[in-house]
Structure 1
Amino acid sequence: MISSPGIYFDIGKKAKGVLHKDYVQQPPIHFHYQFMDWNMDLACQVEEIVPGFKSLFKCTIPDSGKVELRYLNNFIGITGCIGLRGNIERGYDPVLNFSGLIGTSLLSLGANVAFDIPTRTIDKLNAGFNFKSSFLDASLTMHDRFDTLKATCYHEVNPLTKTAIAAEVKYSLSMKETGVTIGAQHAIFPQTLVKARFDTSGNAGAVIQQGFWQRFFITMAGEVDFGDQTTHPKVGVSMALK
């Protein structure tokens, strides 16, 4: 049975989940109180408005927000959204985003483009393909108007313990620089997930996520940059209700 290839942002999703999701990261615009930086994410998805169509509302307070419409069938995934993105100098900029993905659950190819409405310029232009199998999930994508090349791979070692390894290679065509990030994850207990990553610039991070009742999650994350002795280690805590 053939299933939908998903949407463009699913390209390399499993590897990105191991290497980037839930680590100590803040959007450019966030709240600050004493020594803490914080923000809040809200999301709501409506399934099957009409056959094949889904809608999604997502807001990151105070950084950005968007309303998205998705169309999915066995071979195509198309998304279109309009949103507001935080800009430190201008406040909030309206942005239009379109993406398309064609293929199957095994192999897919797609592109993504974003338009900055105030400046009437193309803000993002990305393209890539994804390969999925029971053994390996691999992707190759172009970012920053085709100036940056990223290759990712993900391998699930043990599905029962969610044990997996992932790697990402990033190459800048203009800067002639290459960066590598490797990481792994493992569920110590069914509701306790541990992740860690390290990159060639000397940045290391770790995540411990504890789930309760399969709906509520508490995540603790830490990050240290061994390549920059002037920065201090970062620690973050997040809570999610799904």
Structure 2
Amino acid sequence: MGNGPAPFSDIGKRAKDLLTKDYNYDHKFVLSVPGSTPMGLTATGLKKGQIFLGDISAQYKSGRTIVDVKVDTYSNVSTKVTVHEVMPCMKAVLSFDVPDHKSGKLDIQYLHPRVAIDSSIGLNPSPILNLAAAVGGKEILLGGEVGFDTASASFTKYTAGISFNKPDLSAALILMDKGQTLKASYVHSVDASNNTQVVAEMTHGLSTLENSFTIGSAHVLDRYNTVRTRFSDNGKVAMVCQREWRPKSLITFSAEYDTKKTEVAPKWGLALALKP
């Protein structure tokens, strides 16, 4: 399984993470308490405008089974049960929300040395079906994804993609939005130590002929500090500064400025993650 293809969702993921991960424009706080027992707790707080949102998550591990429960500010309860190796090379995930009785969903992931398959079905009278498959290896990955709404008997999505990956570069091409949009991304390590990376992502509307692009970079300054930047054709410039001041405990500062709306104040956010 370790030498088999990655899931279809991994196509273009490296560029997407560099351009979007940890960009947060609110005040966010995360406290994680793994503990030495199978039970772990995580508390998250987020100040959005004048509203403070928070949730508490608990995770319980027992053998091949993991149970995650999250309670948010409005007392909504989300539960996810993951069973690894339910069959050889297969993982099953059951998720549902309370009190939404129609939110249940079953995900099955099958990882084989030559193919990776992800499928999901909503547990309600008119479910939405999703199926994704990828073939290839560590360097070349080819796959597709379809979604089908049984209520309307129509396809909700169909996507195809291919990616090429090396330790120092990654390129991906994805046909998405039911064949209406073509997205290309590229990540390249400038130095041999991978301390500096550049990334570019471009989308082209096949029917509208509209183009958009985003470029960015990531720099590992030292073992504790990293900086990432991002610039989009819509005039927005953003950056992330992250410091690991103790093992797995991070403080992250994010900022974004719209150069086309100079009268609007820049957005900024501060995130603090603590893990004992």
The interval holding the TM-score normalised by the smaller chain is 0.7 to 0.9
Aligned residue identity for 1:18: L
Amino acid at match of 2:89: G
Q: Does 1:69 align with 2:108?
A: yes
Tell me the equivalent position of 1:53: 90
Structure 1 residue 38: Cα displacement: 5.5
Deviations 1:144-198, CA, capped at 9 Å, x for gaps: 1111101111112346463211111111122211111111111222232211110
> Per-residue deviation at 1:48?
3.3
Q: Which residue of 2 aligns with 1:207?
A: 240
Q: TM-score, normalised by structure 2?
A: 0.68
Instruction: Choose the corresponding residue for 1:195, options 218, 228, 232.
Output: 228
| 2:211 is aligned with 1:178 | yes
Superposition CA RMSD, Å: 3.6
Q: Give unpaired runs (5+ residues) of structure 2.
A: 27-45, 58-67, 69-79, 98-102
Decide which of 13, 35, 38 is 2:50's aligned counterpart: 35
Alignment partner, residue 169 of structure 2:
136
Question: What is the CA deviation profile of residues 77-110 of structure 1, one whole-angstrom value per residue up to 9, with x for unaligned ones?
Answer: 11112469xxxxxxxx964322110111111111
Q: Which has the higher contact order (CA 8 A, sep 6+)?
A: 2
Which structure has the larger Rg over C-alpha atoms? Answer: 2
Q: CA deviation at 1:217?
A: 3.4
Look up the match of 1:99.
132
| Unmatched tracts of structure 1, length 5 or more | 85-92
Indicate how the Cα distance of structure 1 residues 212 and 170 shifts in structure 2: closer, same or farther if over 3 A, else same.
same
Number of aligned residue pairs: give it.
227
**Which amino acid is 2:159 matched to?**
N
Tell me the distance in 2 between the aligned counterparts of 1:11 and 1:137. 10
Any idea what the Cα deviations from partners look like across 1:9-60, whole Å, max 9, x if unmatched? 100111111112222379xxxx985435757696776543433123457899
Contact kept in structure 2, 1:161 and 1:188, CA below 8 Å: no
Secondary structure of the equivalent of 2:253?
strand
Offset at 1:140?
Answer: 0.4
> Cα distance, 1:226 vs. partner?
1.7
The verdict on how the C-alpha distance between 1:212 and 1:56 changes in structure 2, with shifts beyond 3 A counting, is farther
Identical pairs, percent? 33
